Amino acid sequence: MNHAQQIGHAEATFALSGTRADGRVTVEPITETDIPAVAEFMHVGMSSNRPAAEWQRVMTPPWDVGQPNHGFLLRANGKVVGAYLAMYSERVIDGRLTRFCNLGAWCVAEGHRANGLRMLRTLLRQKGYIFTDLTPNPTVVELNDRLGFARLDTTTALVPNTPWPVRRRGVRVIDRANEIERSLTGNELAIYRDHVSTAAHHAVLAKNGENCYVMYRRDSYKNLPLFATILHVSSPDLFRNCAPHFYRYLLLHRGIPATLAESRVVGHKPAKSVAVPGRTRMYLGEDLAPTQIDYLYSELTCLE
C-alpha cells in the first residue's frame, strides 16, 4: 500500500506570517526549491504511473503570472508528508483584472490526515482570489459545500464521434501549430500561446472567414483513452454549425470514439447525444457569476 492517500483534486498578494505548527508538523508554502520533493511525494502518493517530472510540470504552468506559491505542504521532521497543489492566473473579465487560484491535487500521508485540512484553510485565507476546484472527489465536494463553494452547472452530453461523411460547406479543421497561430488573434491567440505547451489539445474550426478555437483534453475510462472533453469554445454559434466536422475529425484523426460536451462550454445540447452525469465542479468567490467561470489556466489543461 502506498504510504500516502489521495484526498481529492481540487488558483492581493499573500504573505505568510509564519508556519503553523502542530507538534512537529508544519504547514508551509510550496516554493521553487520544494518542487522536486513535492513532485516525488505526489508520484508515490497519488499514482506511480504519473512520473515525478509530470508533477513538476503541473506545479510550474507555462503562462506568465506571479505565483505567491505552488500550493502548500505539510512537513514533519524535514520530510514532506502532505501537499495541496495550486495554480494561479490573472484574467481580465468585464474590464477588471481578476485573480484565480485553481485548487489541484491534494494528498496526505497516512498518520497525518488530521493535519490535511490545515493546508486547505491556509490556501483559502489568501485574499483577492476566486478559488476554483474543478475535479473534487465526493468527500471534497461535501467539504467544499460546507466551506461555501458554489456548484457550476455541468449538464453534460455524450456525443458519439461518427465517421459518416458530412457536407464540407467550406469547413476546415486546423490542428497544425503554425496554422493555428495564423488563424487566431487577440485574446484567443493569447490563450492558445499560454496553453500550447500544456497537456491540452487544440484545433480551430474555420468557415467562411470565421474561426472557432476549441481546446479539449483526452480522458480515459478503465485506462482506455475513450473521450475528448471540451474545455473551451471561442464561438459557440460557429461551433454548433461545425460540430459534426469536429467530432468526425476526433475519430478519424485522433482515434477518439466519443466526446463529452458540457452545455455551458459548447453553448447547446449536441444533436444525437445522450445525457450523462456531469463531473462536479465548484468555485468560491462573490465577484463573478457562474457563467464567468471557465476551465482555462487550471489543472484540467495541465494534467491528463
- Per-residue confidence at 278, pLDDT binned at 50, 70, 90? very high
On average, the pLDDT of the chain sits at: 90
DSSP letter at 152?
Answer: P
Which of the pair, 272 or 12, is modelled with greater confidence? 272
Q: Is the pTM of this model over 0.85?
A: yes
Q: Which domains are present in the chain?
A: 4-151 (3.40.630.30), 156-278 (3.40.630)
Q: What integer pLDDT is reported at residue 11 of this predicted model?
A: 28
Q: Could you read off the pLDDT of 6-15 as tens digits, one per residue?
A: 434 442 222 2
Q: Answer yes or no: are the C-beta atoms of 74 and 81 closer than 8 Å.
A: yes
C-alpha 282/C-alpha 149 separation (Å) is 6
Q: What integer pLDDT is reported at residue 47 of this predicted model?
A: 67
C-alpha 97/C-alpha 88 separation (Å) is 13
Q: What integer pLDDT is reported at residue 20 of this predicted model?
A: 44
Q: Could you read off the pLDDT of 179-204 as tens digits, one per residue?
A: 999 999 999 999 999 999 999 999 99
Q: What are phi and psi of 201, to 5 degrees?
A: -115, 155
C-alpha 108/C-alpha 5 separation (Å) is 6
